[in-house]
Amino acid sequence: MTHHHKTRTIAKDGQLLLQKMETDQVETVWDRHDAQQPQCGFCEMGVSCRICVMGPCRIDPFGEGPQQGVCGADADIIVARNLCRMIAAGAAAHSDHGRDLVDVLASVAENSAPGYEIRDTEKLCKVAAEYGIDTQGRQPAEVAGDLAYALQEEYGTRKKELSMAGRAPEKRRDLWRKLNIMPRGIDRETSEAMHRTHMGVDNGWQSLMLHSLRNALSDGWGGSMIATEVSDILFGTPKPTPTKVNTGVLKSDQVNVVVHGHNPVVSEMVMAAAQDPEMIQFAESRGAKGINLCGLCCTGNELLMRHGIPMAGNHLMTELVIATGAVDMMIVDYQCIMPSLGHVASCYHTEMISTSDKARFPGMQHMEFHPDNARKMAYDVVKRAVENYANRGSVYIPVESVDAVGGFSVEAVINALGGAPDPLLDALKAGKIRGAAGIVGCNNPKIKHDYGHVTLTKRLIENDILVLDTGCAAVANAKAGFKISDAISHAGPGLKEVCGSLGIPPVLHFGSCVDNVRILVLAAALADALGTDISDLPLAGAAPEWYSEKAVSIGAYVVASGIYTVLGPMPPIAGSMNVVDLLTRGLQGVVGATFAVEPDPEKAAGLIQSHIENQRGNLGLDVKNA
């Protein structure tokens, strides 16, 4: 059976590798998505419940069958509970990732994490000062020990508010307090979400939704913020760095090691081992020209941001990359790693290594990394990758790589602006830049791969809207060639002029999924500079191809922070018009921002443009008809 590969992805390497996998008779995520059709309509609408064993229950959306579960829960309650649990899972994932970094920071302070060190003492001291930790005349390790302790307390704090939430504009914090959604402890909010959604606890769909926002805020202004800041402290704050993207980054004459997942704790050590001259010599002794480390998904983004390590692909490319036959080893940590990968790898020569005590996968060798053994483990796995080079069969690398620039931390952006956000504000006020949009999130076989991200981005920059992107969206846009200075040729006249004079691309790579907090920090800085709240700014968010629970948490904290957000795929809420109405309209009067759902990126661009022009009008700036 021949599939229409062009309907599945816009990526050339994706189309060619899909063709190859069909010839090789290896199933992909798209085949399994087809095999699942039709997907359960009750679950799609969010009206099925298996929270307790009086059920499972489902509500008939057409009003003919049951309208209540066995316990009496109606569609509103069931939809709200399900969404609340999705957000809890997403917040837990990001925040636990942050905790793993804090553990490494604590181990570095105790000198029990060989190979890890503090690379950005300036940021260490800056964050420590936010926690009231004395930094004067003290050794970085001492400060790091105190900071790690303070950050661990954010997880189970007995304080009334997360300290990191202090980074939000004052008006926003007052609003959160008034609404009683100021996050208190990171673990507390997730734990409370699970409690509230237990049968017979919170059965108010509005109160469930409000707590969901608080839980999401504990991720955005808590767990994810900690993940990003501690990664910067340990591995360096990103600066603009050139890199290359797509499967063309694999090398036919080198040992290709691919890291996949999210946590830089593993990938940074693998990088150190792969760049060690002795290991390179070992690779040469086995007939390879060197060791080529590449990334996938967000751990790839972490390495790309800080070191310019090339990026092989995003979420839906993770199976296809293996089908090149060029990957000698794939090393995974956690999140977004399809359990199919071990099987795909068994059809080629690729060795698969799992590294986290909390993430096991079929068909992978488990070699567990901990702060105290990570350096040794990294050398062990890279050595095995080199040994596997000899087992390669035929190799098919179908495209040439594309150039990109990554590494736009807030610090780097402010630096590019000459030390303060003023030039950006001036360009906004003058209308040269109409506004900015964060395009984030995953791929999803329900949307043509990369089409959502690339189309939306193209339309926005054409219309003088600066794009900041993260995660798999950032990889899609890099592959499309939007992340080099020459990409200003795709931009509207104002954006072209501003980016041209600053020497930056019109689409700025802001990092991994947890790095969405960099966008929050920048938004807060702009709001502070204007003496206003984030919800007054000409900003928008979009997740055109999202799939994961983490993405729902991101969307919820972005909206709760005051930024209008357009989702591509519909979340499972259509079974409750009350919940839909609250999220798409009612929240405006609560947090000053709403969600919209629009799978067509051309139409999503229109929504974002009119929102941005509207916001400009409210600020008294000039307005263009969108």
Residue range at the interface with ligand SF4 (CB under 6 A); choices 55-63, 303-311, 367-375, 379-387: 55-63
Amino acid at 217: L
**Binding partner of 54, given ligand SF4, ligand MSK, none, CB within 5-8 angstroms per partner class:** ligand SF4
54 binds ligand SF4 (CB under 6 A): yes
Shortest distance in whole angstroms from residue 438 CB to ligand MSK: 12
Q: Which two tokens stand for residue 328?
A: 């000698």
C-beta separation of 409 from 232 below 8 A: yes
623 binds ligand SF4 (CB under 6 A): no
Judged by DSSP in three states, 257 sits in strand
367 binds ligand SF4 (CB under 6 A): no
Shortest distance in whole angstroms from residue 228 CB to ligand MSK: 13
182 binds ligand SF4 (CB under 6 A): no
Q: Which two tokens stand for residue 507?
A: 């689409």
184 binds ligand MSK (CB under 6 A): no
52 binds ligand SF4 (CB under 6 A): yes
Q: Which two tokens stand for residue 411?
A: 């610090």
Q: Residue 44's closest CA among 559, 586, 584, 576?
A: 576
Shortest distance in whole angstroms from residue 198 CB to ligand MSK: 27
The DSSP annotation for 340-356 comes to THHHHHHTSS-EEEE--
**Binding partner of 548, given ligand SF4, ligand MSK, none, CB within 5-8 angstroms per partner class:** ligand MSK
Do the strands 539-543 and 435-439 form a parallel or antiparallel pair, or are they unpaired?
A: parallel
Torsion from C-alpha of 279, 285, 287, 290, nearest 10 degrees: 30
Rounded to the nearest 5 degrees, what angle is found at the Cα of 555, between the Cα atoms of 549 and 559?
Answer: 150
Shortest distance in whole angstroms from residue 210 CB to ligand SF4: 20
C-beta separation of 27 from 333 below 8 A: no
Residue range at the interface with ligand MSK (CB under 6 A); choices 156-164, 181-189, 452-460, 544-552: 544-552
The helices-and-strands tally (H runs, E runs) of the chain is 27, 16
104 binds ligand SF4 (CB under 6 A): no
315 binds ligand MSK (CB under 6 A): yes
98 binds ligand MSK (CB under 6 A): no
The DSSP annotation for 538-563 comes to SEEEEETT--SHHHHHHHHHHHHTT-
Tell me the C-alpha distance between 453 and 439, whole Å: 7
Shortest distance in whole angstroms from residue 623 CB to ligand MSK: 33
70 binds ligand SF4 (CB under 6 A): yes
Among 183, 441, 506, 575, binds ligand MSK (CB under 6 A): 441
Amino acid at 116: Y
Residue range at the interface with ligand SF4 (CB under 6 A); choices 49-57, 247-255, 298-306, 507-515: 49-57
**Binding partner of 50, given ligand SF4, ligand MSK, none, CB within 5-8 angstroms per partner class:** ligand SF4
Instruction: For ligand SF4, give the closer residue by CB, 50 or 177.
Output: 50
Instruction: For ligand SF4, give the closer residue by CB, 78 or 352.
Output: 78
Tell me the C-alpha distance between 335 and 378, whole Å: 20
Residue range at the interface with ligand MSK (CB under 6 A); choices 344-352, 483-491, 521-529, 547-555: 547-555
Judged by DSSP in three states, 508 sits in strand
How many CA atoms are closer than 13 Å to the CA of 469, on its beta-carbon side?
35
C-beta separation of 503 from 251 below 8 A: no
Report the b/e string of 164-182 with b at 16+ CB within 10 A: bbebbbebbbebbeeeebb
**Number of residues engaging ligand MSK in binding (CB under 6 A):** 15
55 binds ligand SF4 (CB under 6 A): yes
Residue range at the interface with ligand SF4 (CB under 6 A); choices 50-58, 127-135, 318-326, 341-349: 50-58
Letters for 124-143 (x = contact with ligand SF4 by CB under 6 A, - = none) are --------------------
What are the residues binding ligand SF4 (CB under 6 A)?
49-52, 54-57, 69-71, 73, 78, 199
